[in-house]
Chain A
Amino acid sequence: MTAHFAKRTIVLKGIGVSPGIVSGSVYVITHRIARISRHKLSDKALIREEIIKFSSALESSIKELADIKDKLNDPEGIGPLIIDAHIMILKDEGFIRNTIAHIENEGINAQWALEKTVSRYQEIFKKIEDPYLKERIRDIEDVVQRIFRHLSGIKYDKISDIEEETIIVARDLSPADTIQMKVEKVLGFATDIGGKTSHTTIVARSLGIPAVVGLETITSEVRTDDIIVMDGTSGVVIVNPDQETLKRYEDKKRHHLAMEEDLLSDAFLPAVTKDNYSIGVGANIEFIEEIPSAVLHGANGVGLFRTEFLYVNKERLPTEEEHFLQYKSVIEGDQIKWATIRTFDLGGDKFISDPRLAEEMNPAMGLRAVRYCLRERQSFIIQLRAILRASAYGNTGIMIPMISGVEEIKEVKKIIHEVKQQLISERIPINQQIKLGIMIEVPSAVMMADALAREVDFFSIGTNDLIQYALAIDRVNEHVAYLYRPCHPAVLRLIKQVIDAGHRAGIKVAMCGEMAGDPFCTMILLGLELDGLSMTPLAIPRVKRIIRESTLKEAKELLAQVMNFTRTDEIEPYIKKYMSRRFPQYCVINHE
């Protein structure tokens, strides 16, 4: 009889960055050898031998990389380039000479010598100011790890050899990893580090498989062939689940799929209430790879195209051509009828790689978004030129984030006017009537909404920031996170004020914060008579169904009742109760 070891069940919580529920066995990618062995070589003969060992490790590393490159079969992609750079490092004379000198002069083994060589480069790169060039030390470290593996005879993880369907677990995934995978075998990704814009996330989303990043310890908690369950929406990963949990998640997954299928069947229908009030529903997206999913979920337009990914984790600022190609591919497709492109909104919680931003104590209120653009005018102009050029290919809007007063939008308009004139003089086609809108997310903009409405063609309410600024809550501070309440009466009044001011001036008012996609809030937003809602694609089918099954009259009655309350703890339970009774299939109170 074999001993039965019950494996410990562990629950980990990370950031869900690509939705879906999946269970399966794990493949752990370990790039780093656990321990470097360091020892002195006792005599001259051993030194010679060690140098030969080092040289052959270099050669087999080069051969390994050359094989990977051959298999890639992707001459235009980034993959071969990374591999070329790594091969060049392996052939770098200075690098080889230094390492051999350590072996010879100090009489130490190759691993130790390599460690010394790489630490010298680490010192040099530490002093480099340019954040992108600074990051290149990771390529050197990657290469050194490869040599270490060959020196110690550890078999390299052949991700390319995976034959079974597998969930990939890693500290982080680099392009060098993902290019080798047989993507059809990968069920999901779970990583220790990463965020919404890391490489892992982008790949998972483009493949449409679930991913959870920022799990911190998953690589040490699981081994290859362990079973895990992961939920790419909530960010929960359960390692070695018991039968019951596994079954519960299987049910959840089945239910999720069945529900999705049902919701998708009529997601394309317009969002019009029974009494004929129509709301435009768009998708919030960040990558063109998300467009098919957005269309599938019933979006006919993009209410918010985030452009930060063009800047994040890049070796440099994006060129006009890179901006343009992205925007053009969003707009020119048949299925996306309109798209609103939001200009650079970096800073705050979204991006801290520019050292100047990282120094700020309170980045959400610091140099970000339009403030940064008006300061770094040249990169703003590059982006505006690209959006204007793309506007010749389809119905496009420009949206400026974080406007706090009239003078800012006047300044932006002046720049846009100049950019338009310049493009016209260069005989580059643009849509001169391109719509210009602003995000309303700063309380001062709410107070000035009447004046701002005279300057622009539309408003879009960014609830995430508006709530945090209005209620004075730092969203990332766990001690006050409980105060972050979309249904705070002050928030509802602010939203109403914006909509009323916009409508009095005859412009459209939409909403693109998370609140727009919350089915519990749909009727309240309908009652407020918003003209448009833009949300994450997955939320669209539910919200559209609720709109189609409601009347504006009923929504206004609910709103009137809610606006009478003065406390969040009256409003929230009231809405929850109302919505879960009215739409039990779409508004499920989650007791988990």
Chain B
Amino acid sequence: MKIIRTFILKNELGLHARAAVLMVNVSNRFRANVTFEKDGRIVDGKSILGILTLACPKGGSITITAEGNDAEDVMKAFEVLIDNKFGEN
């Protein structure tokens, strides 16, 4: 199964170091193959450096693609993380 979703980052920080750590943690927890895309650049969802180089600021959008049996679960986990603004207040 392949799922593609676009999220708007609502947290104040954008995809900074802490958020990137949390994103990688999610990617690592599931078997699905995860990639992040922004402005045509695609990076591996398990690569912290990849995520940081996307330089996604607050209000920016990011498209996540998950492919695999647990694609739905991993997408759900990203959704919760992003909706909760990475736990920043």
Contact = CB atoms under 8 A, between A and B. Distances in A.
Contact of B52 (A93, A129, A136, A317): A136
Interface in A401-453: none
Interface stretch (B8-16, B31-39, B67-75, B76-84): B8-16
Interface residues of A, number: 29
A140 B24 CA distance: 16
B47 A85 contact: no
Contacts of A88: 20-21, 24, 48
Contacts of A269: none
Contacts of A261: none
Contacts of B48: 85, 88-89, 92
A93 B28 CA distance: 12
A321 B49 contact: no
B17 A94 contact: no
Interface string A504-526: 00000000000000000000000
Contact of B17 (A121, A315, A319, A321): A315
A275 interface: no
Contacts of B16: 132-133, 136, 315-316
B21 A89 contact: no
A202 B26 CA distance: 34
A92 B28 CA distance: 12
A93 B47 contact: yes
B10 to A, nearest CB: 12
B21 A84 contact: yes
Contacts of B13: 132, 315-316
Given A85-B21, A316-B58, A94 B12 contact: no
Nearest to B11: A316
A64 interface: no
A359 to B, nearest CB: 20
A130 B88 CA distance: 19
Contacts of B17: 81-82, 85, 136, 139, 315
Given A130-B14, A321-B89, A95 B49 contact: yes
Contacts, number: 70
A436 B45 CA distance: 50
Contact of B47 (A84, A94, A140, A316): A94
Nearest to B16: A315
Contacts of A82: 17
A321 B88 CA distance: 9
B55 A133 contact: yes
A526 to B, nearest CB: 46
A128 B50 CA distance: 13
A11 interface: no
A124 interface: yes
Given A84-B21, A88-B21, A133 B14 contact: yes
B18 interface: yes
A112 interface: no
A277 interface: no
A94 B53 CA distance: 12
A125 interface: yes
Contacts of A133: 14-16, 52, 55, 57
B45 to A, nearest CB: 11
Contacts of A136: 16-17, 52
Contact of A93 (B46, B57, B58): B46
B40 to A, nearest CB: 15
Given A94-B49, A121-B49, A140-B49, A85 B58 contact: no
Interface string A109-150: 000000000000100110011101110100110000000000
Nearest to A318: B12
Nearest to B17: A85
Contact of B12 (A84, A128, A130, A317): A317
B12 A319 contact: yes
A140 B52 CA distance: 10
A468 to B, nearest CB: 34
Nearest to B52: A136
Interface string A308-329: 0000000111110110000000
> Among A121, A132, A321, which residue has the most Cβ atoms of chain B within 10 A?
A132
Interface in A48-90: 81-82, 84-85, 88-89
B36 to A, nearest CB: 13
Interface string A443-472: 000000000000000000000000000000
Contacts of A92: 47-50
B51 to A, nearest CB: 10
Interface in A278-325: 315-319, 321-322
Contacts of A319: 12, 88-89
Contacts of A316: 12-14, 16, 58
> Among A82, A88, A89, A318, which residue has the most Cβ atoms of chain B within 10 A?
A88
Contacts of B58: 316
A81 B18 contact: yes
A139 to B, nearest CB: 7
A191 to B, nearest CB: 23
Which 10 residue pairs spanning A and B have beta carbons closest together?
Answer: A88-B48, A316-B13, A128-B55, A315-B16, A321-B89, A133-B55, A130-B57, A92-B49, A124-B53, A85-B17
26 contacts: A81-B17, A88-B24, A92-B47, A92-B49, A93-B46, A93-B47, A95-B47, A121-B49, A125-B53, A130-B14, A130-B55, A132-B13, A132-B16, A133-B14, A133-B16, A133-B52, A134-B55, A136-B17, A140-B49, A315-B13, A315-B16, A316-B13, A317-B12, A319-B89, A321-B89, A322-B89
Given A133-B15, A315-B18, 5 more contacts: A125-B53, A129-B55, A139-B17, A315-B16, A315-B17
